[in-house]
Amino acid sequence: MEHHSPAPHTDKPVRSRGRFSGRLGYVLAVAGSAVGLGNIWRFPYLAAKYGGGMFLLVYLILMLTFGYVLIVSETALGRMTRKSPVGAFQTFGKSLPFQIGGWINAVVPMLIVPYYCVIGGWVLKYLAEYLKGSCLLLAEDHYFTNFISASASVEFWFLLFSALVFFVILAGVKQGVERVSKIMMPLLVLLAVFVAVYAVTRPGAWEGIVYFLVPNFEDFSFMTVVAAMGQMFYSLSIAMGILYTYGSYIGKDVDIEKSTGQVEFFDTAIALLAGMMVIPAVFVFSGGDMETLQAGPSLAFITLPKIFASMGMGTFVGTAFFLMFFFAALTSAISLMETSISTFEDELKWSRPKCCILMCLIMLLVGSASSLGYGVWDSITIFGMAFLDFFDFLTNSVMMPVAAFSTCILIVRVVGFPRICEEVERSSAFRRKKLYQFFLKYLAPICIGIIFVSSIANVLGLISL
Ligand code: PFF
């Protein structure tokens, strides 16, 4: 079963694939994919809820082990096969398990991108309001709940955000995805540093900084590990086909190990900055009240606008925050969309514009259900969840662990370590080869199992995440 040039397994010629121009473009595009809603609202509230500094420590350890293994694996498989996930799996076999493994990785982004664009639309609406100077309006009680139940307006902002994503996708990999990432990611860092510095220099912020950064062993619990692991998965854009696809767009000279380290650094730095913006600010605002900190998803849209309104320069800081939030959401949505379209291009052999039209239809169907699910369609629920929550649960809690598991099995049982190592070594020495093998074989399946079981237990109400 060992063969060394796996890509041309198809009888038809491989279509000309998009390409990143080099490592910088690739790293910024993957970082753009990784840094998203997950870093800016999910990370701070989970860190606040699950032990501050202790959560951070566990998160860092998991990212450098489990996260590292999955990023390297997916990227190497993408580059080796020059295919998006379905084709990559089929390169190694055509039987049902290979079909399932490939498609489950490929379908995840197709289901995520519509509801992600709905949230992107919320961000765009808030940004527009801050630009108009409506800082106090956004801080009013019930503003957010009234907004998301006003279906026509939510649908409008969802369609506008989606149109921006399509615009970039139509421009192609180098001209669109890479160019936007190269502009937006540095700007995002600047804005994040600005808001974080502003937040930590407020009087009373120190207590929040200490809670966030200093590990306290009394705060450790099993749930800290479960929450940190789920977050790491989400934040690094693992198990959603993205890294296969972006890996298929890089040259054999791009150092996979080094790029992985840089992406992890970037993603964690932004999550840390987001924590520095949010946790001390909430401490100042609420006097350290844990309930405010643990407000969860509503933190960004309800609590933060109230905090901005109570600070000096609220309109300015709010605008900077939502602009950064918008860049983060847009570059992640682009990667989800690019991956979906790449699968259609590979599997249906259609032109890029035609694949975009198909994706438009999926967006309209799934996205509109998600956007209207808190408004006119709020009576319709699936397992008691609104559409948006259901798609989020289905992808993150059920499909992604299965997708990640299928990648591990593919490498351990079919492709074999020597070929993955050979792929990584085409561009550089594989410095953490032994660790990679150990983690992939023993640690990754355990971690994936824990995520899967705990997510289901969470939905069944047996534990509370
Ligand atoms: N990693 C990105 C984020 O943290 O927002 C992108 C992403 C992750 C999108 C998980 C969707 C998702 F379910």
Instruction: Looking at 150-238, list the stretches that DSSP marks H as alpha helix, in order from N- to C-terminal side.
Output: 151-170, 179-200, 206-213, 222-235
Which atom from ligand 1 is nearest to the alpha carbon of 39?
A: 4
Instruction: State the closest ligand 1 atom to the C-alpha of 38, by its place in the atom list counted from 1.
Output: 4
pLDDT at position 406 is: 94
Question: Residues 6 or more apart from 33 whose CB is under 8 A from it?
Answer: 237, 242, 246, 331, 332, 334, 335, 336
> Is the pLDDT score of 399 beyond 60?
yes
Q: What angle do CA 265, 32, 319 make, to 5 degrees?
A: 105
> Mean pLDDT over all residues of the chain?
88
Q: Which of 30, 35, 37 for mutating ligand 1's site (highest number of atoms within 8 Å of CB)?
A: 37
Q: Among residues 16, 20, 393, 5, which one has the least CA distance to residue 243?
A: 20
Grade residue 443 by pLDDT with cuts at 50, 70 and 90: confident
Tell me what pLDDT residue 278 has: 86
pLDDT value at residue 50: 85
Rounded to the nearest whole angstrom, what is the distance from the C-alpha of residue 235 to the centroid of ligand 1? 6
Tell me the CA–centroid distance for residue 236 and ligand 1, in Å.
7
42 Cα nearest atom in ligand 1: 4
C-beta neighbour count of 102 within 10 angstroms: 28
**Binding-site residues, ligand 1, Cβ < 6 A:** 34, 36-39, 112, 116, 234-235, 237, 332, 395-396
Query: In angstroms, rounded to a whole number, what is the distance separating the alpha carbons of residues 322 and 202?
Result: 20
Give residue 1's pLDDT band: very low, low, confident or very high (50, 70, 90): very low
Contact 324, 192 (CB under 8 A): yes
Pocket test for ligand 1, best of 118, 240, 337, 393 (most atoms within 8 A of CB): 240
Nearest C-alpha neighbor of 307 from the set 292, 297, 294: 292
Ligand 1 centroid distance, CA of 152 (Å): 26
pLDDT of residue 465: 66
Closest residue by Cα to residue 234 from 116, 103, 365, 369? 116
What's the 6 CA to ligand 1 centre distance in angstroms? 30
Q: How many CB atoms are located within 10 Å of the residue 384 CB?
A: 8
What six digits make up the tokens of 336?
């989800």
Span from the CA of 3 to the centroid of ligand 1 (angstroms): 34
CA distance 107 to 343: 9
Predicted pLDDT of residue 9: 38
335: CA distance to ligand 1 center in Å? 10
How many angstroms separate the CA atoms of 339 and 326, rounded? 20
Ligand 1 atom nearest to CA at 328? 5
Centroid of ligand 1 to alpha carbon of 119 (angstroms): 11
Distance (Å) from CA 36 to ligand 1 centroid = 6
Residues 140-154 have a mean pLDDT of 90
Determine contact, residues 282/208, Cβ cutoff 8 Å.
yes
Given a cut of 60, whether residue 4 has pLDDT beyond it is no
Atom of ligand 1 nearest to the CA of 336: 9
Q: Tell me: the pLDDT tens digits for 90-108?
A: 999 999 999 999 999 999 9
Distance 54 CA to ligand 1 centre (A): 23
By the 8 A CB rule, do 127 and 138 touch?
no
Q: Which atom of ligand 1 is nearest to the CA of 37?
A: 5
Q: From ligand 1's centre to the CA of 405, what distance in Å?
A: 18
Q: In which band, very low, low, confident or very high, does the pLDDT at 373 lie, cut at 50, 70 and 90?
A: confident
Output the pLDDT for position 13.
36
Distance between CA 359 and CA 162 in Å, rounded? Answer: 11
Which pair of structure tokens corresponds to residue 117? 């664009």
Task: Write down the pLDDT at residue 15.
Answer: 53
CA 12 to centroid of ligand 1, rounded, Å: 34
Q: Which atom of ligand 1 is nearest to the CA of 236?
A: 1
Looking up tokens 């490929």, which residue turns up?
Answer: 106
For ligand 1, atom 8, the nearest C-alpha belongs to 234
More confident residue, 344 or 21: 344
> What does the pLDDT average to over 356-375?
90
The arithmetic mean of pLDDT across residues 209-236, rounded, is 86
pLDDT of residue 295: 66
Q: Whose CA is nearest to atom 12 of ligand 1?
A: 234
Q: Which of 220, 219, 232 is nearest to 451 (CA)?
A: 232
Residue range 270-308, pLDDT digits in tens:
999 999 988 888 888 777 676 776 666 677 888 889 888
Q: To the nearest 5 percent, what fractions of the chain are helix, strand and coil?
A: 75, 0, 25
| Distance from Cα 48 to the centre of ligand 1, integer Å | 19
Choice from 105, 116, 245, 336 to test ligand 1 binding pocket (greatest atom count within 8 A of CB): 116
Q: Which atom of ligand 1 is nearest to the CA of 396?
A: 13
CA distance linking residue 311 with residue 398, whole number of Å: 41
Question: Tens digits of per-residue pLDDT, 5-25?
Answer: 344 333 333 456 778 888 888
pLDDT tens digits, one per residue of 230-273: 888 889 989 999 999 999 999 999 999 999 999 999 999 999 99
Structure tokens at 441: 């074989």
Q: Which atom of ligand 1 is nearest to the CA of 332?
A: 6
What pLDDT was estimated at residue 5? 38
